[in-house]
Structure 1
Amino acid sequence: MCWKTLLCCSLWLLLLKSNENLAFKIPSIDFEMLHELGFEVSIPDEPGMQRVFYMLQIDDNCPALMDYITESNNGSWISRQKTSLQNNDKLQISVLVQYNDEIYEKSETRVIINARLLTTRDGRSQSITYPNGEGECHAYLSPQKQAKRCKPAQSIVSSSRQTCQGELLFEDNFSEAQLNRSTWKHDIRQRMYHVEEELVAFDDAPRNSYVKEGYLHIVPIVASEVVEGSFKLGDRCTAVESPEQECNIAQGSFYSIKPPVFSAQIHTRDSFSFKYGKIVVRAKLPKGDWLFPYVMLQPVSTYAETHYAKQLRVAYARGNSHLQSNQQEDISGSHLYGGMVVWPHGRAMQYLKDRLSKAHYGDSFHNYTMIWQRDKITLMVDEEIYGELYEGLSFFNEKCFIIFGVTVGGFLNFDDSVLAKDVKPYLNREPRAALSFWQQRDTWAPTWGKHSSMIIDYVRVYAE
């Protein structure tokens, strides 16, 4: 229905009363961003307040949002809206209050800055009206279904359809009894075929990845033995570069042993990919010496198994509770990183931002966010921006898919040249690195415990 018509509805016949008594002043309008869940406006309750009517308009666009509140809640008159606000949006708030049978009006305009900071552009009292016959604005009462407002987004998804800013493109809350195998595929192969690689084999065994009570668990498990017999993954192996090496370990090789650790890595390459957007992952990272989480995006031109693939790392923190670089920098699990890893000319280049915390990121859940735009990548944890990247974006000019996993070691994750001598129980490039690691398991395996899993509450991707 039209705003002009709504004013004539019997619900608001009292609005026709004159408002000459100015003894009552409408309290300040409180505003709160709920981010992907929308926003909230409210005013505190005062004795004599009977009803409150909100009209909310974003960037002078129609339809406007409207809410009619008949009673206060916990001392406030609150309107919650599911529409997400974007950076530089202008929100006009008009509120009508019935106070002791008289009607009072107040209007304000808010501007969203950096999706978090709020400023008042215009504090003058004014109604949201239109000249007769010009631009009548339709409005809808909450909680009725609201008409969607579409600002075209730069995001590109697998279907190549047009997206709207703030639109939810992908979500998994892991609410089903099992992992959705139509969405997620397992990477199944061993990672030790390069001497400097990671000391782990990824598998799809239920003990290494499972869903329980709405959480995805990815669990690294120490192998019971590493020297007896050969290691063969058979037809289950997903390797694409070196199947003979990644799917098998021959018996009797001097420097080769079976994988000392089994873990899991899953991805959405075949089900969902996107270019530009906002990914939010609520997770508890793994805690334990030499563990390393993968919460990242990878270009669709590669496979999850591809060696040295370019990566957009949404977030990572090393599993060690205590670890310093040879420059005395804290690089333990209290140090969060996010950014890009690329491989021009076969050499790793890292574009990273970081944030040091007092607590290990494996102690509790956090929201890890990456906003990927054409000209910038923004990194956030728990809605706090800790870094912005402008270089290296040209390496990511195609859609990317999501990867979650927990690995162990790795020459890039735990660089020998960065660590002090003899800190690690192995050297990355030594021929028997995996065996050295395994033989010193009494020094690292006890640090894993029940916190060594990566636990993911949800993942959501929004258009930008």
Structure 2
Amino acid sequence: MRSFISSYFFLFLYNICNGQQNFEVPKATVEVFTPKGLRVSIPDQDGIKLFAFHGKINEEMNGREGGTFSRDITKAKNGRWTFYDTQAKLNVGDILYYWTYVDYFDGERKLGYARDDEEFVVKELLPKPGASTTSTTSTTTTPRPTPETRFPDNECQNSVTTVGNKNQCKGNLIFSSDFSNLKQIRNKWNVQRKFATEPDYEFVIYEDNPQTLSVQNNHLIVSPILTESVYGFLDELDLGEKCTGLRGTSECYQRAIGWAIIPPVISAQLTTKGKFSFKYGRIEIKAKLPKGNWLYPELYLNSESEKYGPGYQSGQMRVAFLAGNDGANTKLKGGVILGQTYQARNYAMKTYEASEPWTNDFHNFTVLWKPESITLSVDNTVYGTIFPPEGGFSSWAARSRLSYSELWKKGTELAPFDTEMYLVVGVGAGGHNFEDGQLNSKPWINNQPKSQKDFYYARNSWFPTWGRNAQLEVDSINIWALD
């Protein structure tokens, strides 16, 4: 605020004293660093006494307002007047809107000059100043700092973030997936081959099928299809040795009996279970969510160890979730699931309603997972922060008469979200993620043996809504250690 008032004060004096501008504020150089950092500077010139920077990310300035970034720089260093914010987090594609101001002494008086309506599109992220870089003449790479690799200047400082139960360096990028091709994807991800069962009982078979899982234009594409389009009519299906579920259970083999039919939808799901898990961090997923009746994105974090028990006993974190139905796809949700009851599914979920469907375009979905809280945001706008109640989530679970509340008491107040978790990416259809009575057109009732069959028999009402936009498109996933 001081910078904002100061800038306007001197600009006001200028407007009174001088009607003819005889100095032009130099064009600023903007640099954006990975994993964090924003530097804006102008060259030093004789007569410059102060440089001020005011800016916003992905939001135009309302005239000469203070902005998200607002600072006076009173001294030039190394030949430049420099604004530097080490914590600013920008991504490729973001737009920085800004204006700059200079106090200039012309030999007789000090006057104020502004450069308005500037913008900068982030096209690349630069190595952070002082970070080790790889020589272009060498075939070896400089290892990323880790707790086991100390540097003379103590560049690596331990974060509360862990990967494989080992502390990471503050601010480090600990996971990145850009989905350039399926071969690279399979190195980091497990492609599921199983029937969906508890806890959501979605009406889906997850398979490794080019019709449901592909890469296009460096995007991961998950496209749900009808089972009958692949197998025709089925009365049983055995996924055999390729099954990634628990052998000898309904995750690997199912038979149609009476009202119980083979799941009517084939989709795809990927996880990092056994390959990458972490505790605490900043998760960012750039994706376009699926549109279509009774579809939903699976952008989850699940417990690696299931320390507190199977399924939702060990919790689930949802980075972004919504129903693909028209009228419902304007309501983005994120947060944590504490159990299968209605209260446990909704107590710690946050909603952000927009005027347009969230399925229309790509968005940046972010979760900031700290030891004391979980914060949800989309496109740099925070829409909810979850704090455990007094006594932790275990106290809420006890009041809700959940049988596993005593287990959570053995952890922190954030338990069960105090253990390492792995990533899940996919598309689900139907099942218990849609509460009875939630939408008037819902053609099935949860917990009934014929629910899957009722859903299938209503396909003429919902399948026509599954156009090209029914697919989940993921551009990138990045995770950083906490500072």
| 8 Å CA contact 2:198, 2:311 repeated in 1 | no
Looking at structure 1, the residues matched to 377 and 165 of structure 2 have their Cα atoms a distance apart, in angstroms, of 28
Looking at structure 1, the residues matched to 464 and 55 of structure 2 have their Cα atoms a distance apart, in angstroms, of 52
SS in structure 2 opposite 1:348?
Answer: helix
Cα shift at 1:284 = 0.5
- Name 2:382's counterpart in structure 1: 385
Trace 1:12-411 onto structure 2 (pairs within 5 A): 76-82=27-33, 85=36, 96-98=43-45, 102=46, 104-106=48-50, 117-120=68-71, 123=72, 125-126=74-75, 146-148=129-131, 150=156, 152-158=158-164, 160-165=166-171, 167-176=172-181, 178=183, 180-191=185-196, 197-224=201-228, 227-240=233-246, 243-251=248-256, 253-302=257-306, 307-308=311-312, 310-322=315-327, 332-343=328-339, 348-350=344-346, 351-391=348-388, 392=393, 393-411=414-432
List per-residue Cα deviations over 1:127-169 (Å, max 9, x = no partner).
569xxxxxxxxxxxx989731355543211226143122x211
List per-residue Cα deviations over 1:426-451 (Å, max 9, x = no partner).
11122111111111110000001111
Structure 2 unaligned regions, length at least 5? 1-8, 13-20, 57-66, 79-124, 132-154, 394-413
Say if 1:434 and 1:186 are closer, same or farther in 2 by CA, change over 3 A: same
Looking at structure 1, the residues matched to 343 and 128 of structure 2 have their Cα atoms a distance apart, in angstroms, of 53
List per-residue Cα deviations over 1:391-445 (Å, max 9, x = no partner).
242221111111101011121x10115444xx21111122111111111110000
| Counterpart code for 1:118 | F
More helix by share: 2
Cα shift at 1:231 = 0.9
| 8 Å CA contact 1:279, 1:370 repeated in 2 | yes
| Counterpart code for 2:223 | V
| 8 Å CA contact 1:279, 1:461 repeated in 2 | yes
| 8 Å CA contact 1:92, 1:107 repeated in 2 | no
Cα shift at 1:342 = 1.7
Say if 1:168 and 1:127 are closer, same or farther in 2 by CA, change over 3 A: same
Say if 1:438 and 1:144 are closer, same or farther in 2 by CA, change over 3 A: closer
Cα shift at 1:459 = 0.5
Looking at structure 1, the residues matched to 126 and 472 of structure 2 have their Cα atoms a distance apart, in angstroms, of 37
Structure 1 unaligned regions, length at least 5? 1-24, 29-45, 53-71, 130-141, 323-331
The TM-score normalised by the length of structure 1 is: 0.68
Out of 430, 454, 457, the position equivalent to 2:448 is 430
Say if 1:189 and 1:124 are closer, same or farther in 2 by CA, change over 3 A: closer
- Name 1:32's counterpart in structure 2: none
Say if 1:192 and 1:390 are closer, same or farther in 2 by CA, change over 3 A: closer
Looking at structure 1, the residues matched to 35 and 127 of structure 2 have their Cα atoms a distance apart, in angstroms, of 16
| 8 Å CA contact 1:314, 1:339 repeated in 2 | yes
Cα shift at 1:244 = 2.3
Looking at structure 2, the residues matched to 440 and 457 of structure 1 have their Cα atoms a distance apart, in angstroms, of 33
Cα shift at 1:254 = 0.9
SS in structure 1 opposite 2:169?
Answer: coil
- Name 2:111's counterpart in structure 1: none
Looking at structure 1, the residues matched to 232 and 169 of structure 2 have their Cα atoms a distance apart, in angstroms, of 50
Looking at structure 1, the residues matched to 320 and 77 of structure 2 have their Cα atoms a distance apart, in angstroms, of 44
The TM-score normalised by the length of structure 2 is: 0.66
Looking at structure 1, the residues matched to 220 and 381 of structure 2 have their Cα atoms a distance apart, in angstroms, of 25
Looking at structure 1, the residues matched to 73 and 464 of structure 2 have their Cα atoms a distance apart, in angstroms, of 64
| Counterpart code for 1:233 | L
Query: Number of paired residues?
Result: 358
SS in structure 1 opposite 2:479?
Answer: strand
| 8 Å CA contact 2:30, 2:39 repeated in 1 | no
Say if 1:347 and 1:250 are closer, same or farther in 2 by CA, change over 3 A: farther
SS in structure 1 opposite 2:69?
Answer: strand
| Counterpart code for 1:147 | G
| 8 Å CA contact 1:156, 1:163 repeated in 2 | no
